[in-house]
A = this chain, B = another copy of it.
Amino acid sequence: ALIAVLPGDGIGPEVVGQGTRLLRAVAERFGHSFELTEAPMGGVAIDLTASPLPPETLALCQRSEAVLLGAVGGPKWDPPAKVRPEQGLLELRKALGLYANLRPVAPFPALYDASSLKPEVLRGVDLLVVRELTGGIYFGEKRRDETQAFDACVYTVEEVVRVVRAAATLARTRRKRLTSVDKANVLETSRLWRAVTERVVREEFPDVELKHLLVDACAMHLIKRPADFDVIVTENMFGDILTDEAAMLSGSIGMLPSASLGANRRGLYEPIHGSAPDIAGRGVANPYGTLLSVAMLLRHSLGLEKEARAVEAAVATSIEAGTLPADLAPPGTRPAGTEEIGTAVL
C-alpha cells in the first residue's frame, strides 16, 4: 500500500515521525508492505515552492491509498501573508473529495483528571462527530471591497445526502443513534440540511434513530450531557467549532485523531491539534493524536481492522500505564517525550 506522508510545520514532523515508525512496525508485525513517501505541504511547501500544496504533493496524494498529515501553519505564514498554509489543507480536502471528516471523542479514564469537566460528566462518553468537509461557507464565493465583505454558504442536496449516508452508516456500527446539528430556525441551508437528513435516514436507515438539535443547544449539551451522544453529523463550520469544543472532554486536543473520507477508500488522516510552533523541535509534542490517526488509517483506508484495534489497544495500555506528555502528566510525575510515547506504543 502506498501511503503519502506530509509532516507539515511546527510539531508536525515530530508527531508524524512516530506515526511512520508505528506504520513500519505494524507492517512488520502483521506481514504487510507499506510504501511511505514524504512530500512538502503547508508552510514548509510555501518556503520551498511558493505554494502550500505543490502539484507534486497533490499528485502523490492522489495516487496513494492514504495520506498521513501532521499539522500546518505558524506565525511565519500568518496574515497579512497572502499565501497561507491552511489554503493547502483546504485545497487538498477538496481535490481529494474528502467530504466526511470523522472526529471520535472517547476520553480515557486515566485522563479524566486532566479535563476541565467533572469525571461523572465524562463517564461513558463515546461520541463521533461526522463533519461535512468540502462544502458550506468554507468553499462558497468570497468578496471584499472598501465597505463590506461577503461569504456565501451553499449546500446542495447531493452534498448533504452523501455525508448523512456516511454518518448513518457509521451509526449502524455503533449505538444506532444519530444527532443532526443545524440552525434551521435561521438558515436556509440548515432547513435544506434538516429536510434531506430526515428523508435519507427515514428511507435508507429506518433502524437508525435520528434527532435534530440546534447548534447553540448542541454547544450546551456537549458540556452538560456528552454521554448522551453517539454519532453527530453537521455542516462544515458548525463541525469545526463543535469538534474543538468536544476535544476538551478528552483532557487535551493532543489526544484526538481524525479521518477525512470520500467516495472511495482513500483518506486523509491527521491529529486535530495544530502545529504548536511554541513547542516545536523540543521532542515534547504529544503523538497520541497521530498514533490514533494511524489506527483510523489502517481501518478506513486499508481495511485492516485487526491491526487498527491492536494500535488502539496499545495506545490505551500506554495511557493507562501513565506514559503521558507534559500537559497531561499529573503534577509530580515525570512527563514522557514524543519518542518515549512512540516507543511505549510500539
Contact = CB atoms under 8 A, between A and B. Distances in A.
Interface stretch (A4-12, A22-30, A138-146): A138-146
Counted per complex, copies of this chain come to 2
A36 interface: no
Contact of A245 (B84, B189, B245, B247): B245
Contacts of A244: 216-217, 219-220
Interface in A167-211: 183-189, 191-194
A14 interface: no
Contacts of A158: 147
A153 B150 contact: yes
A152 B155 contact: no
Interface residues of A, number: 56
A29 to B, nearest CB: 36
A253 interface: yes
Interface in A208-240: 215-217, 219-220, 222-224, 237-238, 240
B219 A245 contact: yes
A307 interface: no
Nearest to A79: B184
A92 to B, nearest CB: 14
Interface in A74-92: 79, 84, 86, 90
Contact of A192 (B144, B183, B193, B242): B144
A50 interface: no
A3 B170 CA distance: 53
A138 B186 contact: yes
Given A116-B118, A152-B150, A224-B248, A216 B188 contact: no
A35 interface: no
A153 B149 CA distance: 8
A180 B90 CA distance: 24
Contact of A188 (B143, B153, B186, B245): B143
Contacts of A241: 215-216, 219, 238, 241
